[in-house]
Structure 1
């Protein structure tokens, strides 16, 4: 029993969601092809994976290396180091996955697990050098490694700005929110922050002063410098180009921010097409959440294959 379909499941992306789905499907003895982009993974800037039992502190490179070592034991799993350029419906059913090398792969089922692209602010000098070290996108991921010292967060929402002094208190007793001067609810946010021991500062960040990625000052557009050691900044995100093309061509449902809508089984609503991981949610982006989504997708793919075989 090597397969449940004439064509394999193709997983586009080799992050936590895609690799977990590959492992689960392999144990169901499905044929799986994982299209693994040769480019640097999105989390390569991070010093380690955190909050995932058995993997806490493991570097992203080691996480992937361990995963591929485990998957190499399964003869039904193939790693294809290439870029996926598109996914289209095949005339005889299933899908065709177009590759950057010029070839195509026939798939009975496709799982999109590419993650997303973090769009760094282009006009903030020093952002890239500090990203993943002293500029963090969420305290759960790197708060422990930046505990103590002075923190700041960039916010354009009054409720979030006001709550930051309280929400980040587990890691720092000196927290400010940097907000636009025109932000609605500014004074309410400031009062809330101060009641929790923090404050709100208005201005626009223009430069991050740092020493080899270790932040020590935030320079605003008017020349003021805020002495801070950690900056919480969640940048805008966009879909990987292949996901955007698939969403357009196959008419996937996306939310206002462009994230792909899925149900509890990780189905996109297009029969045979699933999505898992960061590309489906702005606020559930962790290794643990992604691995859970990958496992859920694998279970759904397996069950769909069983039902198809029963009714064939």
Structure 2
């Protein structure tokens, strides 16, 4: 039970970035509340990679270990629940949760991540994060040399398939409809023996998220081991926008070099501000945000 109602900092989001910020602030002797709804975006991913000292561990195991270490800092408290309202008040902010609890703070850090827009392809959601992948640095080594597809079109499709060609040469580009590649791009892909398939996709056949075949609407099929796709997304938490925080053209929270949003007193970290999504980058971002918030709190009293 959280007895305390006012904190120096409320962190909304208790995954990697939020926990990293909490550790930084806890070590700075700050009174911190970490609010978490328990729905990290990578909860379906079986293993996390490219994070030194934790390579190959499950996302849940990394989070559990991190929280166990953050709990050591007695000025950091945890709240399990969803933040649903946020308003600016005198000298800070007020946050209300789904269950009706109200907390206030001098500063807020949103480490709430983003939510992917899953396409209406049967089987896609079940395979997302398992055999339908977003990042070759996180998962490419595990499917190196395998029969692989990239689901994209136009400039994004060309650049993405070019990148993935570093991990496998058994590669094809699925445009899921008429190609918007330029003539020059098509010539380059042909030179590298990368097939372009324009057929519309009907479904992914899979076993517990491991893809077996792609079925097209014309009933043709191809067997496949992995697919890469970069999905459109929106902010997982709407509260920063309610408070007036601006977004970039890409839909990320707009921050300065100190990870301050466009609203004074509000910071952001992790996937909500970073284009390149990875555990390591989220943790780095959270650690820096915690230090930045602590500096601002010091500057406001040391005058």
8 Å contact 2:150–2:161 — kept in the other structure? no
Q: What is the CA deviation profile of residues 186-225 of structure 1, one whole-angstrom value per residue up to 9, with x for unaligned ones?
A: 4333222122231211122220122332212111222221
Matched, 1:284 2:276: yes
Match of 2:3 in 1: none
Match of 1:128 in 2: 125
Match of 2:39 in 1: 40
Match of 2:240 in 1: 246
Match of 2:22 in 1: 22
8 Å contact 2:179–2:198 — kept in the other structure? no
Please show how residues 1-312 of structure 1 align to structure 2 within 5 Å.
Answer: 7-37=7-37, 39-90=38-89, 92-122=90-120, 124-157=121-154, 159-240=155-236, 243-247=237-241, 249-281=242-274, 283-311=275-303
**CA distance in 1 between partners of 2:7 and 2:245 (Å):** 23
Deviation at 1:164, TM superposition (A): 4.3
Pairwise CA RMSD:
1.7
TM-score by length of 1: 0.90
Q: What is the CA deviation profile of residues 149-175 of structure 1, one whole-angstrom value per residue up to 9, with x for unaligned ones?
A: 210011122x33334454223321110
Find the residue that maps to 2:238 and give its secondary structure.
helix
Find the residue that maps to 2:193 and give its secondary structure.
coil
How many corresponding residue pairs? 298
Q: Any stretches of 5+ residues in structure 2 without a counterpart?
A: 1-5
8 Å contact 2:205–2:214 — kept in the other structure? yes
8 Å contact 2:7–2:32 — kept in the other structure? no
**CA distance in 2 between partners of 1:210 and 1:201 (Å):** 20
8 Å contact 1:162–1:191 — kept in the other structure? no
Q: Any stretches of 5+ residues in structure 1 without a counterpart?
A: 1-5
Find the residue that maps to 1:51 and give its secondary structure.
coil
**CA distance in 1 between partners of 2:77 and 2:246 (Å):** 30
8 Å contact 2:13–2:111 — kept in the other structure? yes
Q: 1:165 to 1:81 in 2, by over 3 A?
A: closer
**CA distance in 1 between partners of 2:159 and 2:99 (Å):** 49
